[in-house]
Each structure stands twice: as C-alpha cells, then as structure tokens.
Chain A
Amino acid sequence: GNSVTQMEGPVTLSEEAFLTINCTYTATGYPSLFWYVQYPGEGLQLLLKATKADDKGSNKGFEATYRKETTSFHLEKGSVQVSDSAVYFCALKGLSTGANSKLTFGKGITLSVRP
C-alpha cells in the first residue's frame, strides 16, 4: 500500500532561518504529492502540490520538488517567519480509483518559529 514518512519533530527555528522538512513516500505508479499546513486551532489547508516527476510546487515562499528517483518531496523555505508556526503534513494520492485514490498522510511535524 501507499505510505508517507516525514522526519521526526518538533522543529524550532529562529526567524529568517532556512527550513527543510523531509518527506519520502512509497507508492505504486505515479502519485500526486501534497503539502498541507494546519495553523493553530484550524483545519488543514493545501500549501502546495505537484502532480508529476520533476514538478516543483510553490506557495507563500515554500517550495517542494517531486523527485521520483529518490521518492521524495521535501519542503523548503529560505527565510521562515513567526507566522509560519504550524503543523505540516506531507501527503500523496494515487491516480487510480478506489483505495489508491485516497489521500495518505504522514504523521505531521510541528514547526515553531521564534522571533
């Protein structure tokens, strides 16, 4: 079956530091890959996505590149802000119907950014 592995957290950074959150996956075929973010007290919202190999998703200064050769989708941001403090989830979805088409999530990682 499909699975997503995220690096262990939590992560604490100072404002303007560089951020990398690792994500690797196991899936059959060519899944779509997503990063979702959950701000305190809220539901999840899509941060960025990539639907095929070598695609780069980007939003709000965050980027992630779909690397099929390493089955990875690492999230990066060059300069984090206090407002980026949240829980980040990596997820994948297969392209076929049925069970493979459901979102599979990693366990999430909490990011805290200090002023």
Chain B
Amino acid sequence: DVKVTQSSRYLVKRTGEKVFLECVQDMDHENMFWYRQDPGLGLRLIYFSYDVKMKEKGDIPEGYSVSREKKERFSLILESASTNQTSMYLCATELAVYTEAFFGQGTRLTVV
C-alpha cells in the first residue's frame, strides 16, 4: 500500500511565523501535490511537483512556497503565516499523470 505521511495532524502557529508542513511518501511516486481544503470551497491546488527540484504553481500559490530536494519529500512553506491561512492542508502523490492520487491524512493548521 502507498503510504503518504504528513508530519503533523494538528498545528497552531502565530501570525507572522514561518511554518513548514512536511509530506513524505514511500512509493517512489514522481508527482506530488499540496492542496488546502476549506468548507464550501472543496480542495484547491497550491503547488505541485513532477520531479525533484521542480515546482509549479497551482491555483492559489500566493503566500506559499515549496521545496522538493528529494523525491520522497515535498514541503510546503508559509513564509509569514496569516489568519486566512488557517485551513486543512492535504498532500497527495501519484505515480504518473495517468494514475490515481493518494492522499495523506491532512494537517489542520490554525494561525492565531
């Protein structure tokens, strides 16, 4: 089974802090994604990566950056956390473009 592990289930940070959300997968998948999930808005894509050191902006990249130094790890960075970034963050991976995505359990981030 594919395992996608996010480093924290729940996180509380202060406004202005730099926040790192980590995602690790164990199946050698090429593609990795970060989404945020908000009530009434569904899932929105923040950033994605098709290869090591490669990244592309999704639909809502503002206020975020990412890092992919190793194939199995994809990090989401909030450069200066704000209260409107309080949300559920979901990491996903897929073997290739034509295959299904597998999701981590999510990180619920609260910015106070």
Also in contact, A102 and B42, with CB within 8 A (given A43-B104, A44-B90, A46-B100): no
Residues of A within 8 A of B (CB): 32, 34, 36, 41-46, 49, 89, 93, 95, 97, 101-103, 105-108
B87 shortest CB reach to chain A, Å: 14
Instruction: List 29 contacting pairs A-B, 8 Å CB cutoff, sorted by A.
Output: A32-B98, A34-B100, A41-B105, A42-B105, A42-B106, A43-B90, A43-B103, A43-B104, A43-B105, A43-B106, A44-B90, A44-B92, A45-B103, A46-B101, A46-B102, A49-B100, A95-B97, A95-B98, A97-B97, A101-B97, A102-B45, A102-B48, A103-B33, A103-B43, A103-B45, A105-B42, A107-B40, A107-B41, A107-B42
Contact at A103–B42, with CB atoms within 8 Å? no
* Interface range, B side: 20 to 34
Q: Say whether B58 faces chain A, with CB atoms less than 8 Å apart.
A: yes
Which residues of chain B have C-beta atoms less than 8 A from A36's C-beta?
Answer: 103
Within 8 A of A (CB), among B69-105: 90, 92, 97-98, 100-105
A35 shortest CB reach to chain B, Å: 11
Which residues of chain A have C-beta atoms less than 8 A from B33's C-beta?
Answer: 102-103
Which residues of chain A have C-beta atoms less than 8 A from B104's C-beta?
Answer: 43
B36 shortest CB reach to chain A, Å: 12
Bound Cα distance A103, B46 (Å): 12
A8 shortest CB reach to chain B, Å: 10
